[in-house]
Amino acid sequence: MIEPSAPARHSQKRGQGLGGSPQGVHCGWPAVGRAGSMATDSSFSRSDQSKILSSLRTLRTSLAHARDALMHFKDDRLDRDKLEPAARRVDDLMNMFVSNSRDRAQGSAWIREIQLGVEQVTNPKVAAALGDARVDISALLDILGPEHKARHVEIN
């Protein structure tokens, strides 16, 4: 059995392990429930969630096609490097929307970061793929924007 440190030993209540967990469960991390989790906005309807995930999937595909098209020439490396952070943000958004932490404000901020990354690339080799990406970005901004939330609340 792991012996708790002196401050943890003195602060725990009788019958509880570290962090307020039941006796027998010993870890050095404090127990954090819903009160300590990220603020979420769970007002997305199921249709909104499916639209968001569908747009994120096609956005991920469009960015992958653009990055693949810029893979073969050394001169294209700068443009390809500009798309990397955008692709990571799409993955972050997908993780956020498949988990229970759907934060409308954070999602909108990340979509704007993706949009900025896409707008920085002017290489004509990827114009079609980035055009598709812009369509998905616009759709996501419409769904995640505060106007959509207000419309959704009025309808319900």
Euclidean distance between CA atoms 103 and 28, whole angstroms: 29
Burial degree of 13 (CB within 10 A; 0-12, 13-18, 19+): exposed
pLDDT at position 44: 73
Ranges of each domain in the chain:
6-31, 46-155
pLDDT digits (tens, 9 = 90+) for 76-127: 999 999 999 999 999 999 999 888 777 888 989 999 999 999 999 999 999 9
pLDDT of residue 132: 94
Helix (H, G, I), strand (E, B) or coil at 63: helix
87's tokens: 């692709």
Rounded distance between C-alpha atoms, residue 133 and residue 154, angstroms: 30
Any bridge partners for residue 16, and if so which? 22
- CATH architecture, domain defined by 46-155: Up-down Bundle (1.20)
What was the pLDDT predicted at 63? 95
Best CA proximity match to 85, nearest among 59, 109, 104, 110 = 110
Q: pLDDT tens digits, residue range 25-61?
A: 444 434 333 333 344 445 678 888 889 999 999 999 9
Q: What are phi and psi of 22, to 5 degrees?
A: -60, 155
